[in-house]
Structures are given as C-alpha cells and as structure tokens.
Structure 1
Amino acid sequence: MSVKILAVDTATENCSVALLVGDKVYSRSEVAPRDHTKKVLPMVDEVLKEAGLTLTDLDALAFGRGPGSFTGVRIGIGIAQGLGFGADLPMIGISTLKAMAQANYRLHGKEQVIAAIDARMSEVYLGQYQRLESGDWIAVVSECVIPPQEVGQLLDASPLAWTTAGTGWGAYEDGLSSISLNLEAGDVLYPDAQDMVILAKYELEQGNTVEAEQASPVYLRDKVAWKKLPGRE
C-alpha cells in the first residue's frame, strides 16, 4: 500500500506544502514571508484535491520543526497540529536544515551539504550533513546556533567537497569566508515541504512519530529574550 504523508513548512520566508503518495509528490511553494497564514491552508487544499485525497486518507502529517523564524515555526506547528488533531494523524517533525540538504540531493545530486540559516543577532543556525546509502542523512555536525566566525572551528574538516545551502552564507559572507573546507556554492536558500515528505517517510518507517499534542518546535536559541541583557546568559 502506498504511503501517504502531508508536509507543511512555514519556518522561513518560504511557505510550502507537499503531499507524498507512494513515489509521487504533489507540492506548492511560495516565498511569502508575511503571508504564511493566508497561503498555507489553501496550498493544503490544492495538493489534496490534486491527489484526490482527504486528510483522513493520510498515514502521517509532517511539519518543519525549525530552526527558523520564531513566528514562522509557531505558525507551521500550530497549523499542522490543527490538521493532525482533526484527522487523528501521527506527526513527524523535520529539521529545516536537513530538508535543505535533501533539496541539494534532489536538485543536484549533492551528498555532502552544510546548511546555514540567518538566525539574526549575528548568528547562524547550522548543520553539516552527509547522505547515507539508505537515502537518509547523518548529521556530521548536529544543528546548532553559532556566530559565523566560529563556524570553521566546528565543522568536520573532511577533504570532501561540501555544498552550501541557506541564507546564512549570504548574510554573513565575511564571517564565513575564512572556512578552510572545500566549499561549493549551492542555490538552495530555503527548506521546502517536498523534501520534508521524503525525510518523513524514513522517520515513519522507523516509527518516529508523535501525537499531535506532543508536536514541538526546535528553536535552538532558548534564551533569546535575555541575549543582550547584562548579567544574563
């Protein structure tokens, strides 16, 4: 029987929805940083209608769990939870950074990717990924939030060529320019739900799901409100 997974992501400037039915992916995507709440549900309706399915026909619902915009991550999870509750679906949180690694493979066949999203406050959300034979990805460097000038010290110094992804490379070009790895500039700037559904399939096969009420974000920067206050961590 064909696996059916719906994915929703609004964690960055890109708003996207995708539906995996067996090996076929139906998707919608638009860079619309201020209109996520207006666009995401119509996108859900469109992909379901295109596939001739309803929410209750699905096996799971995936969502972009972050890191990304605080507001964007909350919007995406809130909408995904509403859909999940309504159809009693198990939920799967997918890393936005890992999704950009998958996008580089989908578009260009790249299997070593370093993803960096502009985290504001002179920091980036970063993750370094290598594709496995199974098609899933291993985090060589787990996702974290870090000043750009410290990234070079953290990355795995492999002789492989690493493809860059995300807005962080353009936003902090000066701070990231000292990295001594063999880097290839990539053109993937944002995560997309059509890559999240592929990653979600691996998670579903391993039983890595949660109930809708347990769906939670990954912000990485938990103490953002105290960041610039003297005497605070």
Structure 2
Amino acid sequence: MACILHIETATEVCSVAVSKDGELIFQREETKGPSHAVLLGTFVDEATKELRSKGLKLDAVAVSCGPGSYTGLRIGVSEAKGLCYGLNIPMIAIGTLKLMASAVAKKGLVDPAILLCPMIDARRMEVYDALFDSQLTLVRDVKADIIDETSFIEILKDQKIAFFGNGSAKCKDALQSPNAIFVENVYPSAIDMVDLAEDVFAKKEFVDSAYFEPFYLKEFVATIAKNKVLPPHQNVK
C-alpha cells in the first residue's frame, strides 16, 4: 500500500486525486474543459498542500496514458514526469480505456456477463476503443475504429456489449443491434485510478519516467485555418 497521486487528462475532463493505502483522501475534478494547461498545475498544488498538512509524502505518481486527446495526454504525462523526477519517485501508467472499463465494472453498472467497450471520441465517426470482460481481461485490442452499421456486428450476434465514454453517443444510430447497450455519463477520472494504480505499485511494474511517452495511438496532425493558408503564388521565406 502506498500514497499515490493520480492524474487524468485524456479527454475534456481534468482530474487529480490522492490515495493513501487504497483510500481516497483528496480529489479535484473539472468536467467543462478542456483547460488542462491551467487547471492541472493548480489541482496538483492543492494536492501537495493537502499532503503536507497531513504529514504525508508521495510514494508514486500514476497517470492515465491514453489513448485520448494528444494535448491532454501530453500535459498530464509531462506533469507526472516532472513530479517523479523532482521527488525521485516511480511513475505508474494506466491505460485510459482500461480505466474506464474498470470504473463500469467496479460500480456494477452492467451485468458481469456483458462485454465492456469504452469509447473515446477521435472526431467525426472515429473512436478509440477496446473490448474487456468484467475481469478487465482484454478481449479485443485497442484500436482506432470508424464506426458504421457493420461495426462489432459479428460479436453482437451472440454477445451483449456495453458501450460508454464520450465516443459512444455518436455511435447509437450506427449500432442498432438489440445486444448493444449504451451507458451514459462514463468518463475517465482520477478517482477511479486508485485500485489499478495500487495493483501496479504492489507488483512494482513502473515505467521509466525519463523516456515514457503517452499512448497516442495515432500521430498528431496539425490543422491550419483556411484563412491562414497562403495563396499558391506567395512564397514563404
């Protein structure tokens, strides 16, 4: 058991929590983002002040490592790296989709026989997703899927699947099978990282904070506003 700071910034939600011996002792969360660059440092500062007031020291930092928002993940992992380096403590990486599946399973939101499919919005009809059973065993690998009426069709013939996360709402019209179940108001949160992080800490399955990179799944592609594009005849020097 340990004192662990948990950071989650993979979606529009920014959250920070601290657990001591598996019990939550601090939490801050903002769901109306994205404003991670402003909020995360403030939340972490409040968490460290709370620790000092209780005479506690951190044993590790856990961070949700993706897939998800490129910018959000970069901010969260950078903060975790800085803390681990400065405090000389280990870093724990928690997969964001597994984190979401764990929250649904732990809260008993669906029957244990139903497969769990967390979905994170990747714009248009694309989502980052994976399939887990109720024991969090990975049934289908993490993918970037473009959802249409044929998605998951073979599995849905014989098996119920619970879809949730900020990517699932836009998939309701496409996934018309009676075996497709949609669970609302599920998002990755630092408060749901506690059990997963404690398990990793006990097994000492830490990542190298000096070289670790978030699991972006896809390369970041910058876009340029149309009014910023130069006409073909203009040259940039």
Give the TM-score taking structure 1 as reference length. Answer: 0.82
2:42 is aligned with 1:39:
no
* Residue 88 (structure 2) pairs with residue 91 (structure 1): no
Q: Larger C-alpha radius of gyration, 1 or 2?
A: 2
The runs of 4+ residues in structure 1 deviating greater than 6 Å are 53-56
Q: Give the SS at the match of 1:215.
A: coil
Say yes or no: does 1:69 pair with 2:72.
no
The aligned counterpart of 1:81 is 81
Cα distance in 2 for partners of 1:214, 1:53 equals 32
Pair 1:27 & 2:27 matched? yes
C-alpha separation in 1, matches of 2:54 and 2:65: 23
- Listed one character per residue, the Cα deviations across residues 47-66 of structure 1 (whole Å, up to 9, x for unaligned) are 34445479982221111111
The percentage of aligned residue pairs carrying the same residue is 33
After superposition, the Cα gap between the structure-2 partners of 1:99 and 1:155, relative to the gap in structure 1 and judged at 3 Å, is farther
Counterparts of 1:1-233 in structure 2, within 5 Å, are 2-25=1-24, 26-52=26-52, 57-110=57-110, 111=112, 112-132=115-135, 137-149=136-148, 151-153=151-153, 155=155, 159=159, 161-175=160-174, 177-178=175-176, 180=177, 182-222=179-219, 224=221
- Asked whether the 8 Å contact 1:100–1:188 carries over to 2, the reply is no
Contact 2:65 2:94 in 1 (8 A): yes
Classify 1:157/1:45 alpha carbon distance in 2 versus 1 (closer, same or farther; 3 Å). farther
Residues 74/129 of structure 1: CA separation in 2 closer, same or farther (3 Å cut):
same
Q: Which has the higher helix share?
A: 1
Moved more, 93-102 or 33-42: 33-42
TM-score (norm 2): 0.80
1:9 maps to amino acid: E
**What letter corresponds to residue 191 of structure 1 in structure 2?**
P
How far does residue 121 in structure 1 lie from its aligned partner after superposition? 4.5
Question: Counterparts of 2:28 and 2:182 in 1: how far apart (Å)?
Answer: 25
* Structure 2: distance between partners of 1:211 and 1:49: 26
Residue identity matched to 1:143: V
Which residues of structure 1 form unaligned runs of 5+?
226-233
Kept in 2, the 8 Å contact 1:141–1:155? The answer is no
1:53-112 deviations in Å (ceiling 9; x for gaps): 799822211111111111111111111111111111211111111111122134335444
- SS of the equivalent of 1:213 reads coil
In structure 2, what is the Cα distance between the partners aligned to 1:34 and 1:156? 34
2:13 touches 2:34 (CA, 8 Å); kept in 1? no
In 2, Cα distance between equivalents of 1:194 and 1:147: 30
Counterpart residue identity of residue 5, structure 2: L
Task: Compare 51-60 and 191-200 and name the one that shifted more.
Answer: 51-60
Query: Any idea what SS the aligned residue of 1:131 has?
Result: coil
How many residue pairs get matched? 218
Instruction: Judge conservation of contact 2:7–2:64 (CA < 8 Å) in 1.
Output: yes
State the shift of 1:183 in Å: 3.1
Would you say the 8 A contact 2:67–2:96 is kept in 1?
yes
